[in-house]
Amino acid sequence: MQLIDATTRFLTDAAGRMVIHRKTDIDSAFLSDLSDARLASSAPCRSREMERVCSVPTILADKWLNEGFNIYEAKPRDILARLRSEGYEALITTSKNV
């Protein structure tokens, strides 16, 4: 498991207001690992086994919390639907229907 956290910087804009700048660097190796996991998920497994369905960076989870979507209480299919609707398909690690 790899934890990719956000870095936070406090800046002042041209008007003198405090601005919070959050950033996460996701490298291509991480995305490649997710792609490999998606391909491996096509192998048969028992339906009651636990399986990783996605890998959501903390900065995206925090963004969603600020928008009113609690990823920690949401159903996996709702998380996958939101990833797809926002163009984050690369973070999905399963090819199965959830």
Cα–chain center distance at 73 = 15
pLDDT per residue as tens digits for the range 42-71:
766 666 667 788 889 888 998 999 999 999
When pLDDT is cut at 50, 70 and 90, the band that residue 1 belongs to is: very low
Q: pTM of the full predicted structure?
A: 0.72
pLDDT digits 0-9 by tens, 18-50: 998 888 888 888 888 888 888 887 766 666 667
Q: Which comes out higher in pLDDT, residue 4 or 38?
A: 38
Measured CA to CA, the distance from residue 83 to residue 56 in angstroms comes to: 9
Q: Phi then psi for 11, rounded to 5 degrees?
A: -125, 165
More confident residue, 98 or 16: 16
